[in-house]
């Protein structure tokens, strides 16, 4: 059975479109939170539905390709693409949660906090963009550079969670708002995790090296 290169190209194209939607939905969800913009939050929720549909389409094409005796290189492209699609779908889920919590926060008075959500968003979006770029162009140096940056995002989330606990202890009236904010920062931290996963898959695809759980991803 002859391998279908046209279907493989379609598979890659749909994956790139899905990636574009995933990047934009994170930006929209956080922007909606920062600006208290409910229509923008609703747009983010609608975009997530497109991401789910792309994952279904990508899986369908991938399963068909796997049945056509792919070469080792083609097999890596398919399996890594499926894993990346799964991570992108989860990025969409996290963005949906951010948008939903943002809408909840819009019904409450604003809370003055030292949290810099914009900084955290910039970090995870940059990780996601670099990981996806590395996957597309085969730049494994760029991919490996994404992985250590996840620690900074983890540290920020840990710091923000502690600050929110302090605000809740200081005034019980802060509890609802702090809980929503805590979920938002945790979602951003998870998006960073998914960006790291995509970067690891980019290395696996282009080098054939599995660097998951490696102590030295830059080696």
Range from 7-16, 88-97, 139-148 carrying the lowest mean pLDDT = 7-16
**Domain membership flag for residue 216:** no
Give the chain's domain count. 1
Is 87 a member of any domain?
yes
Output phi, psi for 37, to 5 deg. -110, 95
Closest CA to 121 of 187, 196, 46: 187
Question: Which CATH number covers residue 146?
Answer: 1.20.58.220
- Indicate whether 21 belongs to any domain: yes
Q: What is the mean pLDDT of the chain?
A: 91
Q: What angle do CA 144, 95, 156 make, to 5 degrees?
A: 55
Domain span at residue 154 reads 5-207
Whether residue 219 is contained in a domain is answered as: no
Which of 147, 3, 1, 143 has the alpha carbon at shortest distance from 73? 3
Q: Is residue 215 part of a domain?
A: no
pLDDT of residue 36: 95
What is the average pLDDT across 60-64? 92
Q: Has residue 95 been placed in a domain?
A: yes
Contacts 24+ apart (CB under 8 A), 160-167: 160/115, 160/120, 160/185, 161/185, 161/186, 163/113, 163/114, 163/115, 164/113, 164/115, 167/111, 167/113
Nearest CA among 77, 164, 56, 53 for reference residue 117: 164
- Which two three-digit tokens encode residue 99? 């948008």
| Within-domain flag for 202 | yes
Q: Is residue 159 part of a domain?
A: yes
Torsion (CA) 88, 93, 96, 100 in degrees, nearest 10: -160
Residue 68: exposure state from Cβ atoms within 10 A (0-12, 13-18, ≥19): middle
Task: Decide if pLDDT at 216 tops 60.
Answer: no
- 31 vs 214, more confident: 31
**Percent of the chain beyond pLDDT 90?**
73
């Amino acid at each position: 059975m002859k391998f279908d290169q046209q279907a493989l190209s379609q598979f890659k194209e749909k994956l790139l479109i899905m990636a574009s939607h995933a990047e934009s939905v994170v930006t929209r969800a956080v922007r909606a939170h920062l600006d208290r913009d409910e229509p923008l939050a609703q747009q983010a929720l609608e975009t997530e539905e497109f991401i789910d549909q792309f994952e279904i389409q990508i899986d369908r094409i991938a399963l068909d390709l796997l049945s056509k005796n792919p070469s080792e290189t083609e097999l890596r492209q398919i399996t890594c693409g499926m894993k990346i699609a799964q991570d992108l779908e989860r990025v969409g889920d996290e963005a949906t949660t951010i948008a939903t919590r943002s809408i909840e926060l819009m019904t409450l008075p604003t809370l003055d906090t030292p949290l810099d959500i914009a900084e955290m968003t910039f970090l995870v979006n940059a990780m996601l963009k670099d990981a996806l770029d590395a996957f597309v162009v085969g730049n494994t140096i760029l991919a490996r550079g994404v992985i250590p940056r996840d620690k900074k995002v983890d540290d920020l989330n840990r710091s923000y969670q502690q600050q929110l606990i302090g605000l809740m202890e200081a005034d019980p009236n802060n509890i609802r708002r702090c809980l929503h904010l805590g979920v938002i920062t945790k979602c951003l931290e998870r998006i960073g995790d998914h960006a790291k996963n995509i970067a690891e898959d980019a290395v696996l695809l282009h080098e054939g090296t599995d660097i998951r759980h490696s102590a030295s991803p830059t080696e």
